[in-house]
Chains A and B, each alone.
Chain A
């Protein structure tokens, strides 16, 4: 049973380019969460999605960032016109339908570097 798969593991972009980060949840999981990790700051919640719906995007910057979880295919976190401050590790997690007391399972992350 494959875990949460994220790709790419490392992504390098120049300022002003777009970054697309992909996440395939664990089999049977329909809830996806995106987090950003900066050194010394821990993990910050960005967005919570179910299939075709954004449930909570309270942690996501209002500009340049967007997320989707289509009916078919992986969840995508998109960052447009990247800036140096976007450099971070981005983690995706998933949980099963029931949610609640079920732990979130994490992927190994995408390390985004902005030149």
Chain B
């Protein structure tokens, strides 16, 4: 079985500061990892993915994520937060040979001016 944990329900950060949203995963095979963002009353928007290769993945809107196999983590990061980054962020995992995604519960990111 595959699972995802997002240990923080909410992350607060001041605009201009770096941000990190944590994610750990569990799969039996090779992990395919994804980050999505959800704005109010909207669907999920794809930010970035890790499939293979370089452990540091760059995505949309200046976000990046670091894959750490030994810690089974895939934390989302951004060097300088914007107020407009405030949203709900979901980490998701898929076992390499399987097609359905398992999502974490989501982390609300609040960036204050």
Q: Which A residues are closer than 8 A to B by beta carbons? A: 4, 6, 31, 33, 35, 40-45, 48, 55-56, 91, 93, 95, 99-101, 103-109, 111
Contact = CB atoms under 8 A, between A and B. Distances in A.
Nearest to A43: B103
Interface string B27-38: 000001010100
Interface in B16-67: 32, 34, 36, 41-46, 49, 51
Contacts of B104: 42
Contacts of B13: none
B42 A108 contact: yes
Given A33-B100, A48-B100, A99-B99, A40 B105 contact: yes
Contacts, number: 56
B100 A56 contact: yes
Interface residues of B, number: 21
A108 B43 contact: yes
Contacts of B90: 42-43
A48 B102 CA distance: 13
Given A45-B102, A93-B44, A106-B36, 12 more contacts: A33-B101, A40-B105, A43-B106, A44-B103, A48-B100, A55-B99, A101-B51, A103-B34, A104-B101, A105-B46, A106-B44, A109-B43
A101 B43 contact: no
